[in-house]
Structure 1
Amino acid sequence: MNSEKSRSGTLLLWVFVLSGFSGLIYQSIWTQYLGLFLGHSSYAQSLVLLLFMGGMAAGAWLVSRRSVNLKRPLLAYAAIELVIGLLGLAFDPLFQGATQWAYTSVFPAMGGSGVNWVRWGMATLLVLPQCVLLGATFPLMSAGFMRLQPHAEGRVLAGLYFSNSIGAAAGALASTYLLLPWVGLPGTIMSAGLLNILIAIAVYPLSKMERESAIAEMPASVDSGRGPLFILIVAGLTGASSFVYEITWVRMLSLALGTTIHAFELMLASFIAGIAFGGLWLRSRADRLASPLVTAGWVQVWMGLAALASMFVYANSFEWVGWLMRVIVRNAEGYGLYNLASGLISLLVMFPAAFFAGMTLPLLTLALLRQGQGEKAIGQVYAFNTLGAIVGVLATVHLLLPMLGLKLALAAAAAVDLLLGVVLLRRYSLQVGGRIPPSGKALILSAIGMACALLFVRFDPLMLTSSVYRHGRVSLAEDAKMLYLKDGKTATVAVYEVPNHGELKGQVRSIATNGKVDAGMAATFAQSPTTDESTMVILAALPMAMKESYERVGVIGFGSGLTTHTLMGSPRIGRVDTVEIEPAMVEGARHFGPRVQRAFDDTRSHIVIDDAKSYFSSSPAHYDLIISEPSNPWMGGTASLFSKEFYAFVPRQLNSDGLFVQWLQLYEIDPELVSSVLTGMLANFNDVHAYLANDSDLILVASPRGKVPRLEGSVFSDPLLKADLERVGVHGVRDMQDGFVMDKRALLAYVSQYPARANSDFFPILQLKAPESRFRGANVAEFGAFASAPWPVARHLGAIAAREEAAQGEVDGLPLATVRKWQSAKELKGVLMGHPSDGEGVANAGERLNAEVLRARAQSCSLDADPESSASLIISVAMETVPYLDAPGQSELWDRPAWLSCVPGDPLVQNALALVGAASQDRHDEVIEAGTRILDGPSAKFAFGNAMVSYYVVGAVQYAALASQRADVAKQAHERYDPLLQPLVRNSSPLRILTHMAAQP
């Protein structure tokens, strides 16, 4: 019989591992679900926590009042696990149906009044019942287990605490690294539901072995008769301090490891693992303790000291991360190694204090059991501990971090634990000799530990904001100047200046979130602008150049405030609502001073602290324009602003002729991830145009119902807006047109070349994969390559005329590859025509040399001497000139080449000149004929053997087919020539996109 009970006990421990596994999945996935509906603001996050922890506390408290009367607690536990499982299976369809009904029917009907109350009420109904049931599981399992193994209460409690916690740690990792990538949010929560049902099936047979409560009589204890309320208060306070630790450590480590979903789950797993092993250590010792409360007193002291010691460890973590970033290879395997090392760093910081935290609940519960409180003590301690956790989280987010900062918030929580330890020792320990009582020793240790932490640990602001997880630099430059640093409710925000030792002389002032720079600008108007300034100004100016006026504008993300400031430069703008989730971001942006002054001072500008989707859904008014410029997609909580659900939501917030403008990074991201964003957007908007603000920032302009308007020059009629544009090198509408790169047809072709599932709130591809792309330093060059391709595709799509050769040099400030190409083309033409420019030009040395050699051969009538080399030179120079110069300017260059001293006689050279001449004047039929002669004739072997020549000639044929709408020619050319192309040419993104577009009827 005893062996059977032993086997049953082992099985129950394993069952509770699975219970903890599924419970953590619920906590993680419910947080993401409710974040989609309630938003990610600090108040919404607090509400989610209140639902989770409050429900669990209520469930534990209810069990504490009933468990003694239950004849079979394990049967009740099995029934509750079954109900939790069934609710888990139903959660996703219930959530999606309820929220869709709210967005489409309830919120519009309410007109904004009371929307938040309805949202919070619905969220409560969706998760509170399950949370109450989850809270009941630990006390029921504990009561049932103790009835199976009486007189081993300490061993049972500590063992269950270990098994539940270790399962939770595994659940944190499994949900993020396995289940979410595999089956998304719906499949993950259904997996947890199925697991709960299996748990219920496994426990049911064991419940038949239960007997009546055997905890009526307990061995005497030195703790007896000392008031259960005090012990419950201790449970609440230590729960509060533990969660202050957790949140503060997560915020601290985010600065070193990055604000990604992977980093967060590693931190969470490390914290829970520490708790688990604390319970494991106590398991074999608990029942032998003479005074659990004296032990708890010392545990509290050591927990507080360990928390203080974590500051010393954390201060070195930046050096460790910097070393990792320098030595680990930046590939997928390297990212896995980086995550493993991040987990080890998290363990070093969190594990010691969490280890002691894992002993507190079993010790306090055991003390109450020995005082004769019975099974109700289990639920009471659990409930008070959970309520304390709620207080700790709310206090940390809304008081401690904003008011004290990371270091002092951690020290304050440690002081609570140290004080609890001293009080417990003073109240329950016996003086057995010596001059200093245990409480006095604890007080001395506490004072020494606190003094050392406060005096000798310094969180260097230049280190905290270094973004070491991106670049490997442990600190900002020594001459950096910190202007603002605040631990806000959702992030740590910094504003600092660093000297620019490159082309842009002077100071660059940046605002950063958790170390990630969101905007950098020149500190004064006298300095040249940064590329970030160009992006933010053009974000505002592009839609202004498309319509005469906008009565109501929404901006997602405050950043530096420059986008809103630019909008306020036009009297044709009405009200602007800029929605920012972090108050410290707005406060920090004030340090940009006059550069963003209108965003703060203009009466039309309204700054709203809220989650963007939450705010817009509760607003009764529709918008004429919404501009979205959140932080990078790999930042936690940001990817949902790039999802297909968000792009389905935005059109409902726009007026019938409204426009949506989206910023999207092209650095630290993969083409497939960009395609996942575009797939969601293209499915929900009637028309989308893509513009480049610079080589690494894409701006998408979308119209939900009509066509995206063309750019007009009215934007330059507003003096303030004109001045902002001229500062970043935009002197006219033609300069803005140079940023155009793709229309919807080209974007669809891009998506077809990089097929990817649309990023979704429920299948968060971007959230899961973008951190790895950031680590690898991936880059999307396809848009820049397409814009500067050797065929004027972008110009054709946007009906943009080529720049006149005589245009002034005002474009020097534009950070666009197409502008540099135009300047280079003018220079190369001068070389070929015999009047090169003086000094150092824009064209690189190789391009200039090719033009000089081609001119020399033409002047000496030696083009026919080496026809293949000459044809290569002609095509090489044509690739750098034909797409960028206007037709009149190219007439003497290619159509009637004045630089030729004699007419070449070799067919290959003649065909090359004919092809280039026809391409320069958009004579598409002649381009197809000349290209076919090169690719099908005697020169075919040379053409396909030369990657550059085949790339240009095949592309020229495809472009001519596209421009003349001859899809049959494009398909035939693809079928005939694609197998002959070298892999590098065949896989070229511009050529693949061009071929796909040309072949569409």
Structure 2
Amino acid sequence: MNTERLPSLKRTIAAICMLLSGMAALVYQIVWTHQMSVAIGTAQSAVAIMLASFLGGLALGGWIAARWLNSSLDAGKRYVLLELFIALWAIALPFVFPALQTLAISLLASGSLLPPDAGLPQFGVYLIIVMVAFAPPTIAMGATLPILVRAVRGETEDVAGLYALNTFGAAAGAVLAGFLLVPYIGLTAASQLGAVANLAAAALAWRHLRANSQNAECGEGSGPRPVPRLLIAAGLAGIATFALEVFWTRLLAIPFGGTTQGFAFMLGLWLAGLALGGIFAARKTGSAAIALTAGAVLSVLGYIAILVTGAAAKTAVLALFPGAVAFGMAYPRFVDAAGGDPARSAALIYASNTAGAVVGSMLAGHYLLESFGFGGTLLVAALLLFLAAAAASPNMKAASGFAGCALASIGALLLGIPEPYSLLKNGVVDSDTSGELLSLSVGRVATVEVRDRDDGIVVRSDGLPEALVPRAGMPPSLNDQHWLTVLPALARTEARSMMVIGLGGGVSLETVPSWVRRIDVVEIEQRIIEANRNIASQREVNPLADSRITLVHNDARNSMLRTRKSYDIIVSQPSHPWTAGSASLYTQQFVALAKSRLADRGVFVQWMNASFVDPHLMRSFLATVASEFKVVRVYEPVPFNLIIIASDAPISPESGFVRVGSTSSKLFKRAGILSAQDFAWSLLLDEHSVRQLIKGVELIGDDRNSMAFETGPGRGIMTRTALDAITKRPAEVRADSAYSSLRLAQAGLLPFSRTTENSLLAAARQKGTAGDYAALAAMDENLASLIPTEPGYASANHLRAAWRLERIGSLRPDLRGDMSREALDIVDAALSVETTTDLLIQRATLAQLIGDDAMLAETALVFAHVVRQGSSSEIETRRSQALIAALQRLPSTVIQRRALSALAGTY
């Protein structure tokens, strides 16, 4: 074997080539993952297949390289051909994606069914398509390192150095793609720049490396192959390290808020750690077994540090770095231990290690995290690392010690390890961690937390709030999530079918009018579905008990691409536009897809939290919707929560309300819609205003999705002043009547202002103050004539309930219940307009008469919060004490105890 080494200049050129090659590879991985998610959806099976195919190609490339080392073609030229092939494939691939999407749709078409993310046919089709698209270039990528080692006639320290530089390049590529290339120039251009890096590497190699082994290198690579135990150890290490990469990515997505840049930073830091480990390995210190053991111990210590310190800040990401450094030392040390031809050993160890990475990524994402949680997944990875260390150990004594550590990991796994709740509970959008934790579960897409708070049951996904679910017995309140389904249904009273994208807390499904007969709900995370089932008994309305609803576990684009099913209404309610599952629901291509699934005169609805975007992004999204639909309106029933409704036909929910209001009044009141006038004060932008606002604005597209990269926790926050400036319709302008002012105040958009009482109400109040309830009863018909659009409606209802409460005690027992419920309807109607302590006390009294303990506790809890927000008085103190006495007679429950505690703080 020829061991003559190359001059330092050429070795430097080889190092630069590896740096460029690694950088291009990670740019491709990030870009191609985004492009495939657009083509086939972001369902977990699609993402997993993409990652597995990428890693599988690298592994196969290493295996093929080991058999191509003795080719008659010069190794430098072989390396040039590999880089050229990768570049040409990358240039062509973006233009092939539409054909791949068409093929997938044709093979997986579900006709009139909305398909779930399940089944071997889908898995098989996606696997074949992804392999055809990505296997050729990734195989070539996997072969570059061993071929370049041969080209420079490298020794084992050269393997470590080239590996380190290749990985440093990968880290740089991840950061560049996530922070600069994809956000600013788009997916296609980023891919082309990756190709430029490959072409540059090819040019350098052609100029400096292609003549380094002129005589076909015959006989090189004929040394012994790595012993099987080393290949097994490398495979186990690959499983463990990639399971840990998935583990850290999912865990630390929470303090990063699930942003794409956060993922790119974590991936870059992980790869930088591996690269640094490769540099240390070049010094030939330690062994693979020691490196793997150190990585396992450091990973566990980093996890324990999070448990102990409760680190919820982004600095918690540093917990992954020391372990990554140790893992980076392992690969070169494996090659060193294998002996023989460094190029052949590098190829075979690389193939085995990367094949393990395929298994590790699939195992962690599809089984370990769901079955064992974060702590359990960490211990399983540590167990595999100790087993790999035992297999890599040169003597039995050392192997026995590592095997003992593996047994200790099994013991710890059986005993259980705490979940890092201190980190998981601190969301970057909603930091309220009060109340009782009901459940915390790790799913394939997200970690789902359900918490019972004073204001309702909050459902969070990766620390981001999905919904606030009202509990049974809570007073009525204005809820924009109810408007998501009621508004389009009123705009199309002839609608019979609806699709809802995103289950969340199921709140939007609670008020779907009866004339909608079929509702398909698509939810990407199975744990969200389970969370809704678990809290069904605690809520006022259980939407999953509605026979009209069909739940589909899948990504929305995946389902919609594969079906030709059409709907009268499509409601899209993505929560946070920067997350992978939501960002693709804001592009022009998705809006066009949704429109293609609408029936004639169909209505499309999109929810948007304006506080997550800046004025430019808001205008861009409105322009995106308006590019597909002729009519676009924007409603704001509560501050910053926008409901964008679009159609090719006129939109007039107020007309629909007039037509069907009397038949569904109870449902509309539950949604906080009391009158046709509610659609006037809540209208932020009409059709004409939208068209004026979007002139000259760039659309949001799949190739450069600005919604994914220009939003995030703490970024692009819209202020009230900015929103009013671009819409030119602040709350003061919308307050064109006393009723509008009242409703805007109830929505939190204007301060409350008391209006002068009319003569009827003033006279009634005098009778009530004097205790003349017979006179009040005589005035009831006139008081009932006041409608929610008139000032004094809440006060009138309070007086109407007052005489009923006085009379209930004198009625026969069989009549008391009917009058109590009648009075409760009156009080709740008033509370839907204005929340006062007088009304809440009446409601609490009625709850006692009806015997509804949950209503009493919930009403008392709201009363306590209202009193604490205002100024306490002697009468409020007496009321609080009376409520405490009433609550103390109830069985102890979480809400009862919480209400007692809140009331105790009111005086």
State the TM-score, normalizing by the size of structure 2.
Answer: 0.76
C-alpha distance in structure 1 between counterparts of 2:550 and 2:678, whole Å? 31
Checking the alignment, whether the CA contact within 8 Å between 1:542 and 1:711 is kept in structure 2 is no
Relative contact order, higher structure (CA 8 A, sep 6+) = 2
Could you tell me which of 209, 212, 221 is aligned with 1:209? 212
Q: Return the offset for 1:122.
A: 4.1
**Alignment CA distance shift 1:460-1:49 (3 Å):** closer
Find the residue that maps to 1:771 and give its secondary structure: coil
Query: Which residue number corresponds to residue 606 of structure 1?
Result: 550
C-alpha distance in structure 2 between counterparts of 1:306 and 1:611, whole Å? 36
Checking the alignment, whether the CA contact within 8 Å between 2:609 and 2:642 is kept in structure 1 is yes
C-alpha distance in structure 2 between counterparts of 1:639 and 1:707, whole Å? 28
Q: C-alpha offsets along residues 458-484 of structure 1, whole Å, 9 cap, x if unaligned?
A: 4353641221x346x5x823xx21111
Query: Which residue number corresponds to residue 843 of structure 1?
Result: none
C-alpha distance in structure 2 between counterparts of 1:624 and 1:116, whole Å? 31
Q: C-alpha offsets along residues 846-890 of structure 1, whole Å, 9 cap, x if unaligned?
A: xxxxxxxxxxxxxxxxxxxxxxxxxxxxxxxxxxxxxx999xxxx
**Alignment CA distance shift 1:440-1:229 (3 Å):** closer
Find the residue that maps to 1:688 and give its secondary structure: strand
Find the residue that maps to 2:606 and give its secondary structure: strand
Structure 2: where are the runs of 5+ without partners? Answer: 116-120, 767-788, 792-907
Find the residue that maps to 1:573 and give its secondary structure: coil
Q: Write the mapping of 1:409-428 to structure 2, written as runs, cut at 5 A.
A: 409-425=377-393, 428=394
**Alignment CA distance shift 1:715-1:485 (3 Å):** farther
Task: Answer with 26-35 or 354-363: which moved more.
Answer: 354-363
Q: C-alpha offsets along residues 522-557 of structure 1, whole Å, 9 cap, x if unaligned?
A: 32333343x6xx111110100111122323211110
Q: Return the offset for 1:116.
A: 7.8
Q: Write the mapping of 1:204-243 to structure 2, written as runs, cut at 5 A.
A: 204-205=206-207, 206-211=209-214, 212=217, 215=220, 228-243=227-242
Q: C-alpha offsets along residues 793-837 of structure 1, whole Å, 9 cap, x if unaligned?
A: 769xxxxxx65x6x79995995263xx57x74x73899xxxx9x9
Query: Which residue number corresponds to residue 694 of structure 2?
Result: 751
Instruction: Establish whether residue 251 from structure 1 lines up as the match of residue 254 from structure 2.
Output: no
Match for 1:279: what amino acid?
G
Checking the alignment, whether the CA contact within 8 Å between 1:274 and 1:352 is kept in structure 2 is yes
Match for 1:392: what amino acid?
G
C-alpha distance in structure 1 between counterparts of 2:231 and 2:547, whole Å? 53
C-alpha distance in structure 1 between counterparts of 2:385 and 2:658, whole Å? 61
Task: Answer with 78-87 or 297-306: which moved more.
Answer: 297-306
**Alignment CA distance shift 1:166-1:139 (3 Å):** same
Q: Return the offset for 1:790.
A: 7.7
**Alignment CA distance shift 1:33-1:720 (3 Å):** farther
Higher alpha-carbon Rg = 1
Query: Which residue number corresponds to residue 546 of structure 1?
Result: 491
Instruction: Establish whether residue 81 from structure 1 lines up as the match of residue 99 from structure 2.
Output: no
Task: Answer with 570-579 or 108-117: which moved more.
Answer: 108-117
Q: Write the mapping of 1:307-456 to structure 2, written as runs, cut at 5 A.
A: 307-315=299-307, 318-319=310-311, 321=313, 342=314, 345-346=316-317, 348-368=318-338, 370=339, 372=340, 375-425=343-393, 428-429=394-395, 437-442=397-402
Match for 1:140: what amino acid?
I
Q: C-alpha offsets along residues 675-713 of structure 1, whole Å, 9 cap, x if unaligned?
A: 12112111111110111121110001101x333244334
Could you tell me which of 407, 419, 440 is aligned with 1:459? 419
Find the residue that maps to 1:667 and give its secondary structure: helix
Q: C-alpha offsets along residues 404-458 of structure 1, whole Å, 9 cap, x if unaligned?
A: 1011101110111112223433xx227xxxxxx4345445666778878998974
Find the residue that maps to 1:559 and give its secondary structure: coil
Query: Which residue number corresponds to residue 495 of structure 1?
Result: 450
Instruction: Establish whether residue 527 from structure 1 lines up as the match of residue 475 from structure 2.
Output: yes
Task: Answer with 586-595 or 296-305: which moved more.
Answer: 586-595
Could you tell me which of 112, 135, 151 is aligned with 1:128? 135
Could you tell me which of 171, 180, 183 is aligned with 1:181? 183
C-alpha distance in structure 1 between counterparts of 2:271 and 2:180, whole Å? 19
Q: C-alpha offsets along residues 59-97 of structure 1, whole Å, 9 cap, x if unaligned?
A: 222222222234422211111111211222222233246
C-alpha distance in structure 2 between counterparts of 1:116 and 1:449, whole Å? 34
Query: Which residue number corresponds to residue 755 of structure 2?
Result: 827
Q: Return the offset for 1:630.
A: 1.1
Match for 1:125: what amino acid?
V
Could you tell me which of 291, 295, 307 is aligned with 1:303? 295
Query: Which residue number corresponds to residue 680 of structure 1?
Result: 624
C-alpha distance in structure 1 between counterparts of 2:571 and 2:311, whole Å? 38
Could you tell me which of 663, 672, 677 is aligned with 1:729? 672
**Alignment CA distance shift 1:715-1:587 (3 Å):** farther
C-alpha distance in structure 1 between counterparts of 2:89 and 2:441, whole Å? 41
Checking the alignment, whether the CA contact within 8 Å between 1:56 and 1:134 is kept in structure 2 is yes
Q: Write the mapping of 1:751-770 to structure 2, written as runs, cut at 5 A.
A: 751-752=694-695, 756-770=697-711
C-alpha distance in structure 2 between counterparts of 1:317 and 1:545, whole Å? 52
Find the residue that maps to 2:628 and give its secondary structure: coil
Q: Return the offset for 1:759.
A: 2.1
Q: Write the mapping of 1:981-1000 to structure 2, written as runs, cut at 5 A.
A: none
Match for 2:703: what amino acid?
F
Q: C-alpha offsets along residues 495-519 of structure 1, whole Å, 9 cap, x if unaligned?
A: 00123xxxxxxx5210001111111
Checking the alignment, whether the CA contact within 8 Å between 1:107 and 1:618 is kept in structure 2 is yes
Checking the alignment, whether the CA contact within 8 Å between 1:215 and 1:375 is kept in structure 2 is no
Checking the alignment, whether the CA contact within 8 Å between 1:661 and 1:700 is kept in structure 2 is yes
RMSD: 3.6
**Alignment CA distance shift 1:367-1:135 (3 Å):** same
Q: Write the mapping of 1:480-879 to structure 2, written as runs, cut at 5 A.
A: 480-499=435-454, 507-529=455-477, 534-567=479-512, 570-593=513-536, 595=539, 598-703=542-647, 705-714=648-657, 717=660, 722-752=665-695, 756-771=697-712, 774-775=714-715, 777-779=717-719, 781-783=721-723, 789=729, 814-815=746-747, 817=749, 820=750, 824=753, 827=755
C-alpha distance in structure 2 between counterparts of 1:429 and 1:240, whole Å? 23
Match for 2:278: what amino acid?
G
Query: Which residue number corresponds to residue 93 of structure 2?
Result: 91
Match for 1:508: what amino acid?
G
State the TM-score, normalizing by the size of structure 1.
Answer: 0.69
Q: Return the offset for 1:588.
A: 0.9
C-alpha distance in structure 2 between counterparts of 1:414 and 1:32, whole Å? 31
Checking the alignment, whether the CA contact within 8 Å between 2:77 and 2:210 is kept in structure 1 is yes
Query: Which residue number corresponds to residue 192 of structure 1?
Result: 194
Task: Answer with 444-453 or 643-652: which moved more.
Answer: 444-453
Query: Which residue number corresponds to residue 433 of structure 2?
Result: 476
Checking the alignment, whether the CA contact within 8 Å between 2:653 and 2:679 is kept in structure 1 is no
**Alignment CA distance shift 1:313-1:441 (3 Å):** same
Query: Which residue number corresponds to residue 907 of structure 1?
Result: none
Query: Which residue number corresponds to residue 826 of structure 2?
Result: none
**Alignment CA distance shift 1:779-1:793 (3 Å):** closer
Checking the alignment, whether the CA contact within 8 Å between 2:379 and 2:410 is kept in structure 1 is yes
Percent identical: 24
Q: C-alpha offsets along residues 31-83 of structure 1, whole Å, 9 cap, x if unaligned?
A: 10001111111111111112211222222222222222344222111111112
Checking the alignment, whether the CA contact within 8 Å between 2:229 and 2:391 is kept in structure 1 is no
C-alpha distance in structure 1 between counterparts of 2:34 and 2:402, whole Å? 42
Q: Return the offset for 1:297.
A: 1.8
Structure 1: where are the runs of 5+ without partners? Answer: 219-223, 290-294, 322-341, 431-436, 500-506, 796-801, 840-883, 887-1001
Match for 1:539: what amino acid?
L
Task: Answer with 311-320 or 454-463: which moved more.
Answer: 454-463
C-alpha distance in structure 1 between counterparts of 2:276 and 2:663, whole Å? 63
Task: Answer with 603-612 or 52-61: which moved more.
Answer: 52-61
Q: Return the offset for 1:725.
A: 2.9
Match for 1:815: what amino acid?
A
Match for 1:730: what amino acid?
I
C-alpha distance in structure 2 between counterparts of 1:543 and 1:308, whole Å? 51
Q: Return the offset for 1:98.
A: 5.3
